[in-house]
Amino acid sequence: MTNHSIVIPVDDIAAATAFYTTAFGVEPHTDTPYYVGFNLDGQEIGLNPNGEADRMTGPVVYWETDDVAAKVAEVEAAGGRVVRPVSEVGGGTSLALLADPAGNQVGFISQG
């Protein structure tokens, strides 16, 4: 089981899917209009065509946690800034996106 995922914002999901399928040498395990996911030896790498709307500034590592809201509160107390608040994205999965004091982004995800 992976304890983190790398999500890459893309403009054209079809073009990005073709590129990363060739680059990684594997077919995606999930191929939807809103997310394409690859598993590379246990490492989840996803493509997000809504990255700009989600305020992603580049690839983001989403760390798995049991309680996204509690983790967001801890990270905010340590100087983090919420970029995307805790959101339910389907299938019992919740995520949030934060920025560190320098503006670097990190995400947190909980899968139900």
The CATH number that domain 4-111 falls under is 3.10.180.10
Phi, psi of 65 (to 5 degrees): -145, 155
The two structure tokens encoding residue 51: 């990255």
24-69 residue pLDDT tens: 999 999 999 999 999 999 999 999 999 888 888 899 999 999 999 9
64-98 residue pLDDT tens: 999 999 999 999 999 999 999 999 988 899 999 99
The domains of the chain are located at 4-111
DSSP at 34? S
Q: pTM higher than 0.95 for the full model?
A: no
Phi, psi of 60 (to 5 degrees): -130, 135
